[in-house]
Chain A
Amino acid sequence: MDDLHKALGDISSIRRQVARSTEFRGYGPATLAATGVFALAAAGVQTVWVQNPSLQLGRYLTLWIATAVLSATLTGVQMYTRSRRMHSSMSDEMIRMAVEQFLPAVGAGLLLTIVLTQATPAAAWMVPGLWQVIFSLGIFSSCRFLPRPIFAAGAWYLLTGLCCIGLGGGRSLSPWAMAIPFGAGQFLVAGILFFSAKESGDEV
C-alpha cells in the first residue's frame, strides 16, 4: 500500500514540475479585454454618480471595488473553464499556481485600501495610484508563467501608478486616473495574450 501511495506522490510531483515549467494559458484575451471595457464603463458611471470623489469616497470605492469584483469573477470563471480545455490533467495545478502568484497582490491592495481609508482618510487620494502599483507587482510575479511581453503590461501599471500618485490630491481620484491605466492596460494584456496564443497555435 505504501508503495502505491508513494507512486501516486511521485506522479503528482512530476505533474507539479511539469506545471512549473509550463506557460499558463488560462487567461483568455477576450475576457481580459472585457475587463478593460468594464474599467471604461466604470469611469463613465463615476462622471455621473461620483461627481466629487474627494467628498464621496464611499461611493468612489464602492464603484471601483464592484468593478474589480466583477472583473475578477469573470476572469476566474473563464480561467477555470479555459484551463480545463488548455491544460487538461494539469489544470488544477496550473490554476493553483496562477492564483498563488496573484493573490498576495489582491490581499495587499485590499488591506491597503482599508488602512488608508479608515486610519488616514486624508491620504485616500493615493488609493488609485497604489492599486495600480500593486497590480503591477501581481503581474510581475506572474510573468514567469506568462508570455514574456507581459512584462510590458507590468511596467505600464507601475508607470501609471507612479504618475497617478505624482498627480497628487483630488486629481488622482478623477475617473480618467483609473479608466486610462486599467482600460489601456487590460487591452495591452489582452493583445499580448492574443498574439502569443496565435503564435503557439492555441485557441484565442
Chain B
Amino acid sequence: MKSKTPTNEGRFAYEGLDRVIHERARLSVLTSLITHPKGLTFNELKQLCSLTDGNLSRHLSVLEKDAMVEILKGHDRNRPQTVCRITAAGRKRYLEYLETLEQVVRDAAKGAEEAAALVRHLNPSRA
C-alpha cells in the first residue's frame, strides 16, 4: 500500500539511536568520558556511573570492541592504574546519538503540545 504522506516516511525511524550507546550504563560511561577528555580512572568512572567493577568492565569491553573508548593500563605511585578515554570515533558517534536523542524529545514535546491544544479545542470551557 502506498503511503499517504511520502514525505513523512521514516520520520520517526531515529536510526541515529546507536544500540551500543543506548544502553543506560554505557550512556553514563560515555557521557562521563566525553565531559572529561583527558580520561578518567577506572575507580572514578565506577563512582560517577554507580556501577560495580564487573559491570563497568563488561560495558567498557563492549565500548572498546567498538573502538569508542581506549583503555590505558599504567602505574601511579607504584600502583597499577587503568585510565579510560573516549576516542575520536566514540566522540563523533556520541554527538550523533545526542543529536538524534534531542530530535526524539523535540518530536515528543511537539506531539504533546499538539495533543494539549486539541484537548483545549474540544473542551473550550475547561481551557
Residues on A lying within 8 angstroms of B by beta carbon are 1, 4-5, 7-8, 11, 14-15, 17-18, 21-22, 88-90
How many residues from B make CB contacts under 8 Å with A? 18
B72 adjacent to chain A (CB < 8 Å): no
Query: 19 extra interchain contacts, Cβ-Cβ under 8 A, other than A1-B113, A21-B37?
Result: A1-B112, A4-B105, A4-B108, A5-B109, A8-B102, A8-B109, A11-B98, A11-B102, A14-B31, A14-B34, A14-B98, A18-B34, A21-B34, A21-B36, A88-B95, A89-B95, A89-B96, A89-B99, A90-B95
B67 adjacent to chain A (CB < 8 Å): no
B106 partner residues in chain A, CB cutoff 8 A:
8
| Also in contact, A11 and B37, with CB within 8 A (given A1-B116, A4-B112) | no
Majority secondary structure of chain A interface residues (helix, strand, loop or mixed): helix
Q: Would you mind naming 20 contact pairs between A and B with Cβ atoms under 8 Å apart? A: A1-B109, A1-B112, A1-B113, A4-B109, A8-B102, A8-B106, A11-B102, A14-B31, A14-B34, A14-B98, A15-B98, A17-B35, A21-B34, A21-B37, A22-B37, A88-B95, A89-B95, A89-B96, A89-B98, A90-B95
Residues on B lying within 8 angstroms of A by beta carbon are 31, 34-37, 95-96, 98-99, 101-102, 105-106, 108-109, 112-113, 116
Contact of A18 among B95, B102, B105 (CB under 8 A): B95
A4 partner residues in chain B, CB cutoff 8 A:
105, 108-109, 112
B98 partner residues in chain A, CB cutoff 8 A:
11, 14-15, 89
